[in-house]
Amino acid sequence: MLTQAADTLKGGEFLIKDSDYTKVFIPEEFNEEQLMIRQMASDFLNNEIDPIRDRIEKQEPGLSPALLKKMGELGLLGAHMPAEYGGMELDTNTNTIISEVFGALGSFSVPFAAHTGIGMLPVLYFGTDEQKSRFLPGMIAGDIKAAYCLTEPGAGSDALNSKTRADLSADGNHYLINGQKMWISNSGFADVFIVFAKIDGEKFTGFIVDAKSPGISLGEEEDKLGIKGSSTRQVFFENVQVPAENVLGAVGKGHLIAFNALNIGRYKLGVMCMGGNKVVLKMAATYAAERQQFGQPIGNFGAIKHKLAEMAIRNFATESATYRTSQLMQDKKNAEAAAGGTYGQSMLEAAEEYAIECSILKVLGSEVTDFCVDENVQIHGGIGYSEEYPAARAYRDSRINRIYEGTNEINRLLMIDQLFKRALKGELDIVSPAWAVQKELASMPSMERLEGPYAEETRAVADFKKIILMTAGGAAKMQMDGKLNLKEEQEIIMNCADMMIDLFAAESMLLRVRKLSEMQEKAQPREVYDAMLQVFLHDATARITKNATDGIASFAEGDLQKTFLMGLKRYNKYPAVNVKEKRRLIADAVLKAGGWCF
């Protein structure tokens, strides 16, 4: 049913093609330069952020801009930027490393991510040569701090419902912008706003706006649940004059800027969540080893081992999927550059190509983070509920991750929407594999079995793909027949999206563990990695089975439903795993190391 292993998959193609485990990139392959840059980023975190976290939380005036300036001096703001503007032009994997380390910045991760991502990338992607020369060097150096003004009171997930408008002056020299933006990160100290407004109330367009322009005013700092050290305000525009040469991109094409900037923003958010999870695991493991109850450390108890192991397993899955995607984007970037694309165009094309994977990582990373911080509070008990200890702060800070850069619900809808759009454009052939599954269901089960290392795991991942193709393909067929309107059936789309997330994570883990099994040097014995893979597949099988059952029961009836449910039983045959013993093995490794050790 599936094609032969591919060296580089297109976006979303993981659903219909197998991957070659020898071709994926895994973090165990960091080179010496990447390790040095990781150490530099870690040193900044340890020396510049950790000692002043309380001052950051209180938003001490001038502190965040000063820290961004220091990062600029170290080259950390321009690691992903072209050398001609003062950037370092580091590869995607190295930039992923930096984002991972800075996932532990706490509140300060927001100013960093907002500035280097949605603040700078629109200029790199869509700016004219003059605009890039005027703004990027300052942004890279930390002299110009950026903010991104998209969300409005009536335009959140529905960004194109913007009411902010721009009107061209009679002489054509400038636009007058009027409107209101809200939840704007960095707004309290930004020098430049990337603003979206509708020209004549119709043409959704991007603008580069001097934050000190007359007519701009700010609301009070929002009293937020978490990330209290980040500036978040409303921004009001009243007859703000913006030079016509500050239009960003093409008039009426602001949606291309907004959505493409968010692709890489989602990816980086998932990466930073993954990095933060490692800090939380260390926090939990350290406390579990120190806290004595009933005459022994609570880390000796099975209930605590379960929590520590599950935190490690889920983040190992996230990390595996992250660096797999990072390499895919780097390969795409290289191909675009070889074809004559500029640095910015190549980055843009890579992020757009893997929009599905970016959404997966945003959802996966943020939901694993919520799981980890919640279990961390539980392991700490009453102390975890006290604001005197860091567990509570991590718990509060994590909650925003499921909301910004597109809510997780929107990202789930986007995954499936992008998949079907790519299929309709002929970029992905989903029909043939889906039809092959239908034919397979009509035949007797094959007695052939895969042999060799990780045979059961390889078969399980292949079967996950068949289950998704059967379910999503069945729903799509019902829509083509006029019996279903998927736009009105978000629950079914969510079912399919959750299965895709589990599939991508499971296959990424399998590819990494297979590669690790052939490496001489690794952090843990092979059986620990095997245990993480097996537990994840055991649990993913149950989740995928439930999501498929819920989806099928929502659109199929009678004989069709029976056929699909029988097919589901045929494809969810991953053998039972002694998850208790395997989780204990993983937890013991975590406790021995005092945290993340993979």
Q: What are the catalytic residues?
A: 405
Give the 3-state secondary structure of residue 30. coil
Are 537 and 457 within 8 A, CB to CB?
Answer: yes
Residue 155 backbone phi and psi in degrees, to 5: -140, 90
Beta partners for residue 203, in sequence order: 199
What number of CA atoms fall less than 13 Å from residue 162's CA on the CB side?
Answer: 30
CA–CA distance from 16 to each of 13, 75, 434 (Å)?
Answer: 6, 40, 9
Spatial separation of the C-alpha atoms in residues 379 and 391, rounded to whole Å: 10
Of 223, 208, 220, the closest CA to residue 125 belongs to 208
CB atoms within 10 A of CB 335: 15
User: 399-402 contacts: CB < 8 A, separation 24 or more?
Assistant: 399/225, 399/226, 399/370, 400/224, 400/225, 400/226, 400/227, 401/269, 401/273, 401/365, 401/366, 401/369, 401/370, 402/366, 402/367, 402/370
Spatial separation of the C-alpha atoms in residues 200 and 209, rounded to whole Å: 18
Quote the DSSP letter at residue 152: B
Q: 361 CB contacts (<8 Å, ≥6 apart)?
A: 266, 267, 270, 271, 318, 321, 322, 325
User: 9-14 contacts: CB < 8 A, separation 24 or more?
Assistant: 9/328, 10/353, 10/427, 10/428, 11/353, 11/354, 11/355, 11/356, 11/357, 11/418, 11/422, 12/356, 12/357, 12/418, 12/419, 12/422, 12/428, 13/428, 14/357, 14/503, 14/504, 14/507
Give the 3-state secondary structure of residue 562. helix
Of 280, 283, 297, 312, the closest CA to residue 582 belongs to 312
The full length of the chain comes to 598
